[in-house]
């Protein structure tokens, strides 16, 4: 049986009325998503939201929902889609007055998440997929692991993360079709950002 966490009652009317652009940011581990999101925030004034960070913050808060999430993750189960969506709604509402748009980083992880997000909030304006070969992503992460000490930056774990990404996230890229811009992210970050900027200019 799937784990359950009580859903929050959230009035997202202000979010719908503001109708700010929503951009899904996709890319495997080590694809440079974080670097590019920082550049987008600096140049365009968008709000960068990472579903992983929101989950970690909720757990760290010690709230009732955070405790339930801790139990779910300790059992090795997936966090319910509804909970991630509620966390995103709350974060988007809290930044509404200062934001020019939203970068939703690492989300949706599968097609069903994207469909639910667009049904309950607003359709996304654009999907940016940072395409990098597995060899390059692995090399970047192994290199990062030498300095970061992150336990998930070892070759076996990296391979599993890449397999998971390909299995779940690539169908998302296909699902969004013409709404999705695929950007090769193996070049220098500034060159990659030039392509990102060109994609974002199509929204204005």
pLDDT tens profile 27-82: 988 889 999 999 999 999 999 999 889 999 999 999 999 999 988 888 877 788 88
Entry pTM? 0.86
Per-domain residue ranges of the chain: 30-199
Q: Class for domain 30-199, per CATH?
A: alpha beta
Give the whole-angstrom CA distance, residue 194 versus residue 174. Answer: 23
Render pLDDT for 149-195 as a digit per residue (tens, 0 to 9).
655 567 787 888 888 888 888 899 999 999 999 999 999 999 999 99
27 SS3 class: strand
Burial string for 49-84 (b: 16+ CB within 10 Å, else e) reads: bbbeebbeebbeeeeebbebbeebeeeeeebbbebb
């Amino acid at each position: 049986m799937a784990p359950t966490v009580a859903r929050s009652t959230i009035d997202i009317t202000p979010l719908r009325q503001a109708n700010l652009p929503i951009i899904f940011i996709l890319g495997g581990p080590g694809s440079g998503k974080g670097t590019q999101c920082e550049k987008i925030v600096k140049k365009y004034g968008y709000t960068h939201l990472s579903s992983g960070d929101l989950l970690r913050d909720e757990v760290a808060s010690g709230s009732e929902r955070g405790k339930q999430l801790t139990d779910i993750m300790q059992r090795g189960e997936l966090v319910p889609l509804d909970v991630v969506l509620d966390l995103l709604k709350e974060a988007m509402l809290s930044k509404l007055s200062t934001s020019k748009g939203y970068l939703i980083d690492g989300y949706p992880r599968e097609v069903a998440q994207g469909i639910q997000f667009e049904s309950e909030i607003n359709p996304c304006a654009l999907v940016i997929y940072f395409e990098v070969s597995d060899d390059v992503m692995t090399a970047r992460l192994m290199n990062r692991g030498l300095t970061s000490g992150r336990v998930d930056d070892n070759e076996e774990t990296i391979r599993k993360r890449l397999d998971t990404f390909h299995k779940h996230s690539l169908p998302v890229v296909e699902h969004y079709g013409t709404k999705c811009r695929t950007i090769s992210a193996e070049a220098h970050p500034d060159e990659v950002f030039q392509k990102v900027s060109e994609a974002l200019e199509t929204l204005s």
